[in-house]
Homo-oligomer: A and B are copies of this chain.
Amino acid sequence: MASSPSEPVVRAWARLERAHRAAQTAVEARLKEAGLPPLAWYDALLELERAGADGLRPFELQREMLFAQYNLSRLIDRLVAAGYVVRSASAEDGRGQVLGLTREGRAMRKRMWPVYAAAIEDAVGRHLSLAEATTLADLLGRLYSRPTK
């Protein structure tokens, strides 16, 4: 019988870790050396921008980013402290709040993009053809959706 995670699966896992660490480190370094906030800020700002005028509930953002609840709570603290996000009470849910992007938040996201984009190109784009990038995105997408097996 074949051993339970097959050799290619173990390999894929190991490389997922390494590739991610390498890319992540490189990208964070680029942002920092440009005097910009960390990656996670960009992600949050982008999701909020995409959400439009209605804003997002923290738990929605949490699911989108796959962030732990307590980490997100504190990430939001920092974004609010920096003036990029505003918290307001939710009208429909007394327990909850709604997050909105400020003008400064929108501006910061925009300001981060060129640096971030260049870093992504270096960390990922440079190494792959267009077709390969598409395949990679496809396969990675499968890892966090319901299995089809």
Contact = CB atoms under 8 A, between A and B. Distances in A.
- Secondary structure of the A contact surface, majority rule: helix
A95 to B, nearest CB: 25
28 contacts: A3-B117, A4-B121, A5-B120, A5-B125, A8-B134, A9-B120, A9-B128, A9-B133, A10-B120, A11-B133, A12-B128, A12-B134, A12-B140, A15-B136, A15-B140, A15-B141, A17-B24, A18-B140, A18-B144, A25-B68, A123-B143, A126-B149, A127-B143, A127-B147, A127-B149, A128-B139, A135-B139, A136-B136
Contacts of A22: 66, 143-144
B124 A5 contact: yes
Contact of A127 (B8, B10, B66, B142): B142
Q: How large is the interface on A (under 10, 10 to 19, 20 to 34, 35 or more residues)?
A: 35 or more
